[in-house]
Structure formats: C-alpha cells, structure tokens
A and B are shown apart, each in its own frame.
Chain A
Amino acid sequence: MIPPFPDRTHFTLAFPVGPQPVSEVWGLISQYLCDKKCLPNILSVQQIAGHREEFHTTERLKIRPEEFAKLIDERRLDAFWFDSGVSGRTLSFRLLHAKTLGFQSVLGCYIEKDAKAPKGWNGLIEALMERFSTVGGWQWRQLYQSWQSAIEVNCGYLSSFGSPPSGYSMTFRNTESLTPQPDRVFIDISLNPGRPKELLPTVEFYPTAEMWLGPHFWQYAQCTKEEALAADFWLETRDTPHYTYFKCWPTPFTRPDGEQGRMQQRLWKLFFHEDCEWPPGSGTISDEPMYGPKELWPEGLEYPY
C-alpha cells in the first residue's frame, strides 16, 4: 500500500547529550501515548539504532510495549527506533545520536495520515524537557515543514507540493543510476520562511508557531533569552527552569506568505539576525498566497495551480 502524505502534527526534541537512562525516555513517551489512548499494542523495534554491534540485524523485533523498557535496559540501548508496525497507520519514534559528530541526540517521530496519534505533543515535550537537559523542542504541521525544507525537486515534491516556484536558484547533479535518468534538481531554500537551521550536526532549529527552547539553545542564538522574551509579537510565553515556551501563532504554520510569512520573518530576525523571502527571489514576503499544495491553500480562496 502506498500511504498518503503523513500530514500530521510532528515534533522533534534535541538533547545536547544523549539522554540517560533511555528507558525513562520511553517511559515518558509510553505514558503520554497511554494517557492519550494511542499506545500501540505491539512495537516493531529496529535492532540497529542504539544497539551494540553484536545485536545488529535488519530483522525487526516485535514486542509488547510493556516489554520495551526491559529490552532497553538488558541491551543497554543508548538510542532506539521503533514503530507500531501497522502499514498505512504507522506511528514511529526515533532517538538517534550523532555518533562521531558529537554527543547530541535528537528524538523525532513519524505519523502516517491514519495513525492513532495525539493531535499535539505539548505534554510530552514538556515532560521530557523537565526530565532531561535539552537544546529545544518544536512541533509543526508536516506538510508545511516538508514543503519548506525540501531541497530536491523530485517525484514526491511534484506530487505533494506542486511545481516549485520559478524564482528558486537551481543546481543539477548527475543521477547515479544503471539506466539513464534525468539529473537530480536541487533548490536553494536558504531564504524560505519555514526552512530549518542547523545548530550543530543533526540538531536543527525550526521556526514554528510553538517552540520550547532549552538552556542549551541560547549559545546558538543571536539574542539572549531575555531579549527574546521582550519581543512584542508573542501570543504566549512561559519561562521555566527547564525551558522557555514561545507561542507566536494560534495554529501550526501553513503558509510562508502573508501574516504567517511575516511572523516567521520576525523569528529569523530575532533569533538569528537572518531574513527570509517568499516567493523565492522576490526579496520580500508576498501579501498574497503563492505556490504550495492545495491542502495548505487559504480557505475561501480559489487554488490557482
């Protein structure tokens, strides 16, 4: 079965050092899923991520959720990658560390369109940030995040996001294939309002409507926490000993233009003294919606593409 685009609320959480014990990370995830009545009956666990080499195999281990903590402890896992193993309705979590590139780790998820999953991850993000030291946590609507961060115009781009804006600067690379195939086409997204920014290898900042910025984030920012809190465009802020919560838009972003685009522009200017533009090459933020998938087009306006 070919699943539809996984357009759900996804989140990521970055740790400066891999969180230990890993079984507690799982404990908080399972508790949150249980509270939301979304805990899968069976977990399909990859036996590579976080495993010592002697365990490495592409065979997946099917276990009950209550057995996972024991597995983590017995195998002394320092990372994991598991999913609910239900084709088309998969809920997946991955805690991966940067290996040779540093001590940092990132927890992420993948939620298929029809998966049984919470609508938001606020409670889990906050519980994890209260327990472990973090760089930050972000959540977003996946269709928008994928569109804005797509660096290659491929089959998936065209089918999910439509034609790329004509103003993109493009580069071409040979496709390394047995049969002649068109060149790979890469686009320069460095001024996209919804682009991610790499803070350190494998750890990225996302300009999202809700952000939880941990104590380790500020060393990468161009402003202080106090300066950020002093900005006048927040809908809500909360400063806690473990994280600072910023909310600048009532729902996850869906557009890089209009007021949403300008709000993302404010985030770039505040946190990194960087700018953005939409459409690409315009040097500004368009008032009118331009480009993108139909699902993200403003309600009430005719979709022109």
Chain B
Amino acid sequence: MCYTFGHTFGYLCEQVAVGALTGGTVKVAQVALKGGRSLALNLAKRTSASVVARSQWLKALLREAGAGDAVMRAAYERGLVTCSVEPVGPTIREVVNEVLEKAFSKGGFDRSIYSWKHLQDDLLNRPNLSKLLAQTGGEAVFQRRLSQLATIMGDDFDAVIAKNFAKVADEIIVVAKPDGTVDEFFEGFLRAFAGNPSELAHADAQTYSKVFLSPQGKAALKTFLSDPTPGKLWDTFDEATFFNNRVRGVLAELSVYKRYYKGRGYEHAPNAPGFDFTGPKWVQIKTVKDPTTAFSRMRDAVNALIAESPTDKPLKLHILVPPPGNDSAPLQAALDNYIGTLPAKKKFELIIDPFDIIP
C-alpha cells in the first residue's frame, strides 16, 4: 500500500489527498484501518499521479524561486487535491489524475512533448490558465477539462493534442475580463464540435458532461488541436460543409460572447433560432469566410432576426470575417441596401468585423 510513501514528495502529497478525502481527520494508515485494504489501495492508486505532479511542482520551486507565490502555491495544491480524489464529472466517474496518468502512459503518447511537467508549466506560466488556477473554483478546471478531452478523444488523444489544448485553452477558451479575472467556455468548446445547436443548451455550464463526439466531430476537434496551426478557426473550418459552418459559427459565437457581449449586459441564447444574444440589442452572430458568396445566407439571417425578435428591440447582425476583411465592402453595401428596403431598418445595425478567434 505504502510504496509511494517512501518518496518524500509523495508522502506530502498523500497527506494532502487523505486530508481532503477524510475531512483532514485521519492519516492514510487510519484509512487503511477504517476502510480496509481496498480503500487504501484505491487511495494509493489515485495519488500516484498526484505524486508526480507534486514533485514536478516542488522541483520547479526549488529550481526557480519565482515559480509561484503563496497564492499560486495554495491554488495549485488545492487543484492537486481535487484532481487526486474527485471524478472528472457526472458522466466520467474516474478520478481526474487517474484519467490523465492513464492517457499519458498509453503506448504512442510522447511524454517528452507533454506530461505532468508540461501540465504544471501550463498551469503556472500561461497567462490565462494561471489566472484560472488562482481563481476560487478554478484550481482544477483545466486538469478536469484535459481529462475530459482525453476521454472524448480516446485513442486519438496524443501528446501534441494535449500540448495544443493548453495553448488553445489559454488563448481562446479562457478569456480575460477587464477586472483581472477570467471566464471560460470549455464545455461549450467541446460541445461545439458536435455541430448541433441543441448540444449548446448548456454551453455555459460547468458540468464536464460532454463525453461523446461523432467521428466527424472528433476529426474536426483533432484537426483544430493539431500542428502546425492549432486554434486556426478560418483554416480549419472552410465553408465546404454544413458541419464546418456550424462548428465555426458556434466557436466564434462563444468566443465573441465571452470577449465582448457578456460584459456589456447580454445573455446568451445558444440554441435560439434567429438570434444569439439578448440585452440592449438582439444580436445575431454569423461567420463568413468568403463575403462574395454570403449575401443570400446573410439576408436570411437578417430576416430571421427580424421575425424572431420583439418589434420594439434594436437589432444587430454582427458578421465576423477573416482579418483583414478587405473584401467585405460589397457584401456590406448589398446588405445595407437590403436592410434599407425593410421597415425595420430604423432599428437595425449591421457590423462586419475582421475576427480572429485568438485575440
């Protein structure tokens, strides 16, 4: 049972884990006495991953005095405890660190590209992930989401995807707020790859519940998280397929909501037909890669927004195009002209914005 306890860092970590598991009242030996061999073995298994993570953390502290301040250390430790004893979520009952250790250990997973050390570095050094870690309730979020991703991807989960997920999480999914805190849309991100708006009913939930993607969704997610250009919205999702349009639209919608609209008093209506956000205005977000072919689709979006919204509310069609957006002027003019034929023109705002999902 106690082979890991011989390791200094492991011992420390066990005490943290046991403390969490038992409300801080018993030591591992007591767990063994109270719960018998099976609980104690289970505890040892859960903590083996924590030991590695913990040791990397402590090594980093030794190596580099500035690797973390007291707040970060405490946050990391809380996250470590959570990930050592708690399941990923309601639909993935395995403990977070067990899932990760299993994923990192499987054949073909190149631990020189990604492993516990890289995970720790990402948590501590990436600007938004470190803010998430330090935030109350955020200590274990990325680790959980990484294990959720590993579960969803199954055999396709490799070190490159893990590495790039950290990059995409930091640059896209975790969004800095003006007050210095961060917000995130991990669940919505994973659900976006279902390509089905009904999946987005709980896009903003903290449920860790998405566990299955279709082969098409998995392939798209794999492409989005693979080298050489992870996180490239416009490259990954061209307009060749309906599915691509859907996924691209949802990812952009989630990103724009977190980056811009949420802080301005808007509510997200992820699976409403005709509009995406309500608030000071009723807003529809659309992504357009080729503005020269999008007029009919955008005209339908104008019509749907008018038909679906209350008559007395200002309306806004916010079209996102790849930067620099130079070729969108003809589309803008044609839509301005179209909107100008409608009585609703008085309350309608059309914006075509060059947009990159990585700010």
Give residues in A with beta carbon < 8 Å to B: 1-3, 5-6, 10, 12, 46, 48-49, 56-58, 60, 81, 87, 90, 94, 96, 98-101, 106, 108, 110, 142, 146, 149-152, 154-160, 175-179, 181, 184, 201-202, 204
Contact = CB atoms under 8 A, between A and B. Distances in A.
Given A100-B311, A101-B311, A179-B354, 6 more contacts: A56-B308, A58-B301, A151-B346, A156-B339, A157-B340, A178-B320
Contact of A177 (B303, B334, B351): B351
Contact of B334 (A3, A151, A158, A178): A3
Given A159-B333, A184-B349, A6 B312 contact: no
Interface string B133-149: 00000000000000000
Contacts of B355: 178-179
Contacts of B323: 179
B151 to A, nearest CB: 32
A42 to B, nearest CB: 14
Contacts of A46: 300, 303-304, 307
B329 interface: yes
Interface in B318-346: 318, 320, 323, 329-343, 345-346
A253 to B, nearest CB: 16
Interface residues of B, number: 46
A110 B274 contact: no
Contacts of A184: 349
A158 B300 CA distance: 24
B333 A60 contact: no
B256 interface: yes
Contact of B332 (A49, A154, A178): A154
A41 to B, nearest CB: 17
Most B CB atoms within 10 A — which of A81, A99, A152, A160?
A152
Contacts of B310: 99-100
B117 interface: no
Given A2-B295, A155-B333, A156-B332, A181 B351 contact: yes
Given A46-B307, A58-B304, A184-B349, A2 B274 contact: no
Contacts of B295: 1-3, 87
Nearest to A196: B343
Nearest to A110: B341
B273 interface: yes
Given A58-B273, A98-B311, A156 B349 contact: no
Contacts of B341: 6, 10, 110, 142, 146
11 contacts: A2-B295, A2-B331, A12-B343, A46-B303, A46-B307, A48-B273, A110-B341, A142-B341, A176-B351, A178-B355, A202-B343
A99 B316 contact: no
Nearest to B339: A156
A2 to B, nearest CB: 5
A157 B345 CA distance: 13
A150 B332 contact: no
Contact of A178 (B259, B337, B342): B259
A10 B316 CA distance: 25
A201 B334 contact: no
A122 B52 CA distance: 82
B331 A201 contact: no
Contacts of A48: 273-274, 304, 307-308
A101 B343 CA distance: 14
B312 A178 contact: no
Contact of A87 (B296, B312, B351, B353): B296
Contacts of B330: 2
Contacts of B296: 1, 87, 90
Nearest to B281: A176
B112 interface: no
Nearest to B272: A56
Contacts of A176: 316, 349, 351
Given A1-B295, A58-B274, A204 B333 contact: no
Contacts of A157: 336, 340
Interface string B288-303: 0000110110001101
Given A48-B273, A48-B274, A178-B256, A156 B335 contact: yes
A15 to B, nearest CB: 14
Contacts of B354: 178-179
Given A176-B351, A178-B259, A156 B336 contact: yes
Contacts of A175: 351
A179 B353 contact: yes
Given A6-B341, A177-B353, A156 B334 contact: yes
B353 A6 contact: no
B171 to A, nearest CB: 16
A77 B303 CA distance: 17
Interface string B255-296: 010011000000000000110000000000000000011011
